[in-house]
Structure 1
C-alpha cells in the first residue's frame, strides 16, 4: 500500500551501517567531492587548481571567498601547532601530507584560525591521482573544509609562496561560470 512504511530489512540496515562506519558515507555525490581554487597572484602560479574534499571529516564551504590569503603552514607538515598563527588566522592554509593523520593536520589548522586547510600530496611527481583523505580513530571533529591537492600542484604553489607574503585566491569557484579565455589550468597537470 502506498504511503505505508515497513521497517528496513536487516540486511539492508546492516549494509547501510557497514558502509557508513567503514567508508564514512555522509550523503555527498562524487561531484560534490571536487572543488576548484583560482590563484590570482603571484602570476607564476595563477591557474585554476582542482582539489578533492576529505571523505569523512571536515565540512563543506558555506561561502565563496574572493581574494583570500593562501599561506604555508609552519611547520609545513602540520603535525604540531602552527607557529605562524598570525598569518593563518582568517586564511586558507597549505600543508603537506605525511608524518601524522589528516585529522591532526586539519585540527591544527583549525586551531590556528584557518578558514580551510589544503593538504598537498608529498609525492611531488603526482599530477594525476587524488588520495582519499579519511578520518583517524580519534574522536576529534574538524569544523573547516579539508581538501587534498595533487603533489605537483602543491609543490609548485609552495615554491612560490613566501612565508610572509601569501598567495591571493578565490575558493571555491564554479568553473562552469568562468569564461574560457580566463580559465587557465596548470600546464603540468592532466585534466
Structure 2
C-alpha cells in the first residue's frame, strides 16, 4: 500500500508542477528546458528556462555535472574574460546592453557549451521572454536559454555569498524522470 500512495503522491506532485509552469507563461511545459543545481546546496533546486525561438542549437548531450559560470562582463556584450574557466561550460549572463544573439555569439567564441541569459528584472519570477534573432547573419550554434530574473539573481547571490566561481548543474533534466531524484522547486516561485 505504501508504494501505491508514494506513486500517487509523485503523480500529484508532477501534475502540480505541470499546472504551475503552464500558468507561468504562454509556453507549454514541453517548451521549457530544465536544469538542476547540484552545488551550492542552498540553491539545489530544479530551474526552468525557455529556449531561444529562432537561433541557437539544442542539447545533443546530457551533462550530469557541468559548471554554470557567471560571465565577466556580466552582460556578455563584449569579449568575455577568464576564457580558460569558460571553456566547455554553461555561461550565465544578464539581459541588457546588446542583443540575445550577440551574447550567445560571445559565449560561443569564448568556448561555452551553452548560455543562460537571466532577465535583468530581478523581481521577474514568472514571465518568460521570447528570445529572437537580431537580424544578423552569423547566428550562434550553442543552446541559448532565457532564465527568469529572480532565478538568475538568486544563483548569482548564492555564488557571491559563498565566494564560489561557479555552480555545478545537470542540464537538461528530463522532468518525466522526476521520481528518480528529489524534486525541489525554488521556493520563491511557489
Structure 2 partner of 1:89: 87
Structure 2 counterpart of 1:167: 167
Distance 2:71 2:109 in 1: 12
CA distance in 1, matches of 2:152, 2:61: 23
- Mapped partners of 1:89, 1:108: distance in 2: 12
Aligned counterpart, 2:138: 140
CA distance in 2, matches of 1:33, 1:125: 23
**Aligned partners of 2:70 and 2:165 also within 8 Å:** no
For residues 144 and 80 of structure 1, what CA distance do their matches in structure 2 show? 17
Task: Report deviation, 1:141.
Answer: 1.6
Structure with bigger helix share is 2
* TM value normalised by structure 1: 0.80
Equivalent residue pairs, number: 162
Give the corresponding residue for 2:41: 43
Q: In 2, are the aligned partners of 1:71 and 1:161 still within 8 Å (CA)?
A: no
RMSD (CA atoms): 1.7
TM-superposed deviation, 1:150: 0.3
**Please, what TM-score do these two structures have when normalized by structure 2?**
0.81
CA contact (8 A) 1:92 1:118 kept: yes
Aligned to 1:188, what secondary structure does the other structure show? helix
Bigger Rg, which one: 1
* 2:166 pairs with 1:176: no
Give yes or no for contact 2:38–2:169 (8 Å, CA) kept in 1.
yes
Matched, 1:105 2:103: yes
Supply the distance in 1 between the matched residues of 2:119 and 2:38 (Cα, whole angstroms): 22
